[in-house]
Structure 1
Amino acid sequence: MRPTLAHRRILETGSWFADLTPARAAAVLDAASIATAPDAGRIYGAGDAPNGLWAVLEGQVRLVGYPASGMEILVRILGPGAWFGELSTLDGLPRPHDAIAFGAASLLHLSQPAVGRLCAQDPILFRDLGLLVCANQRAALAFIEQRAGQPVATRIARALLKAADEAGGTGPVAVRQAELAGVVGVSRQTLNRGLRKLEADGVVALGYASIDIVDRRRLAKLGGAAATWA
């Protein structure tokens, strides 16, 4: 299946694709195909050889890392319009994360050979891919800095808001507490204590593998405040 105008409009909600020149954006779409992944389907795994550039059209994709034996960290939750897989696509080295569909997902795929052909035809695309790497790297560094210097309550609020935005900003955030604890950098017990306080305060509602943001304004205020809890 080839990308449609509706797919293009979804991709244009993301800043990277929206900032491509019209000619380069058209070339990317012409060389791409549409793929689907079932719930929990693995798009690629940590250590795999690069298989090209991907973007989310419908559903969610989660990037999961394994920094040490027995550890699993949720790196990002990606919703429609988000691109991923650019690092290994650009440097040719193994994938650093698993990319796993959360629920059924529809994806745009630009294969590794297609990326090579496009870059040979228009070398400026190398710079575009570099900008995508830089944007994601800056986001990762900002997250690390924030996590290191902020109280737990603030980190939880920011992580929830970021997860909600990356998932499209509507409906409950579909995330397990173990995953969220890895993002925030706390134990599951500490995370659960913080979430229970937010629920008691009427800020969130906890469900099975999901968290509904009931009062986004208060959560955003908490995300910018130096709040703590015992």
Structure 2
Amino acid sequence: MDMQDWRPRLMRGQWFSQLPVSLQDSLLSATKVRRLTPGQRLFKRGDRPCGLYAVLEGAVRIGAVNEQGKEALLSLVEAPHWFGEIGLFDGQPRTHDAFGVGQCTLLHIPQNVLLALLDQQPLHWRPLALLMSHKLRLTFINLEQLSLMPAPTRLAHRLLMIAAGYGGEIDEPRRILQLPQEQLAAMLSLSRQTTNQILKDLQGQGIIGLSYGEIEILDAERLRVLAMV
């Protein structure tokens, strides 16, 4: 498949769609396709930075596991989002582990290739800084919610954010989220039992529907009220 064939999928993302066409072309010409089987590791904490990735199919789980086996799930990166840019700026080792979720297809721009491109066109550092700053804002929001908001409010807000692609998509918010409850619990630093009880309560109110590995948003307005947005 020609790299340009992936352009329509990437154009669904706010970041890529707002890039100058010349930069879009440069990025696509530098990419390689990378495929992951379910659960396959892309990189681990402490690895040297290996470049920038875009998710085309499937998803990538970004997080860490402690010595007791408890997982902190930082993010579930889905199409058409990009990730891996932090190491581009500081050259430091990877801060978290990344694993494929389902059959996963990625575009990969190697670190040295992208740095060479940026050396030739230094103005393009700014769009990459904007990609990183968007994620930094989301991190601050999540930290604030963790400290100040009750669990049901945090859960409702996270469902809305996931449905809207964390503000990074141009499509309408999704109604059906491919999201197992254990992954949602790990994102919110909640127990599986607490997460299940909150979801059951929302289901009982007719705000969401639950099925295996899926959450359907039935009443987005009432969910927004609960999320205080």
TM-score class, shorter: 0.7 to 0.9
- The Cα shift of 1:115 comes to 0.9
Instruction: Tell me which residue corresponds to 2:153.
Output: 154
Match for residue 183 of structure 1?
187
Deviates further, 208-217 or 22-31:
208-217
For residues 213 and 27 of structure 1, what CA distance do their matches in structure 2 show? Answer: 38
CA deviations over 1:28-74 (Å, ceiling 9, x no partner): 11111222222222222222111110011122222123477533112
> Residues 202 and 156 from structure 1, CA distance in 2 versus in 1: closer, same or farther, beyond 3 angstroms?
same
* Cα 1:150/1:132, change in 2 over 3 Å: same
Q: Which residue of 2 aligns with 1:193?
A: 197
Give, as a single letter, the amino acid of the residue that structure 2 aligns with 1:213.
I
Change (3 A) 1:18 1:68: farther
Displacement of 1:127 in angstroms is 2.6
**What is the deviation of 1:90?**
2.3
Aligned to 1:228: none
Deviations 1:164-215 (A, max 9, x none): 3339854642333332223223222222221111121122233333323233
Amino acid at match of 1:176: P
CA distance in 1, matches of 2:196, 2:124: 44
Measured in 2, the distance between the counterparts of 1:68 and 1:145 equals 27
Other-structure match for 2:206: 202
Q: Distance in 1 between matches of 2:38 and 2:69?
A: 23
The structure-2 alpha-carbon separation of the partners of 1:69 and 1:63, relative to structure 1 and needing over 3 Å to count, comes to same
Instruction: Name the counterpart of 1:42.
Output: 41
Higher mean C-alpha deviation, range 78-87 or range 163-172: 163-172
- Contact map agreement 1:61 1:101 (CA 8 A) in 2: yes
Q: Tell me if structure 2 keeps the 8 A contact 1:55–1:84.
A: yes
Q: CA deviation at 1:87?
A: 0.6
Deviation, structure 1 residue 155: 0.7
Give the letter for the 2:42 counterpart.
I
Aligned with 1:93: secondary structure?
coil
* CA RMSD in angstroms, aligned pairs only: 2.2
1:111 Cα deviation after fit: 0.7
Partner of 1:3: 3
- Give 1:211's aligned residue: 215
Tell me the secondary structure at the aligned position of residue 173 of structure 1: strand
TM-score (norm 1): 0.86
In terms of mean alpha carbon deviation, does 99-108 or 179-188 score higher?
Answer: 179-188
In structure 1, what residue type is equivalent to 2:196?
N
Segment drifting more, 111-120 vs 178-187: 178-187
AA partner of residue 36 (structure 1): R
Gap regions ≥5 residues in structure 1: 226-230
CA contact (8 A) 2:175 2:218 kept: no
% identity of equivalent residues: 34
**TM-score, length-scaled by structure 2:** 0.87
What's the secondary structure of 1:39's corresponding residue? coil
> Are the counterparts in 2 of residues 52 and 110 from structure 1 also a CA contact under 8 Å?
yes
Which residue identity is paired with 2:22? Answer: A
Q: C-alpha separation between the residues in 1 aligned to 2:141 and 2:21?
A: 31
Amino acid at match of 2:215: I
After alignment, is 149-158 or 206-215 more displaced? 206-215
CA 1:32/1:2 → structure 2, altered by over 3 Å: closer, same or farther? farther
Q: State the partner residue of 1:220.
A: 224
The within-5 A match list for 1:1-230 is 2-4=2-4, 6-66=5-65, 70-166=69-165, 169-170=173-174, 172-224=176-228
Greater mean alpha carbon deviation, residues 213-222 or residues 139-148: 213-222
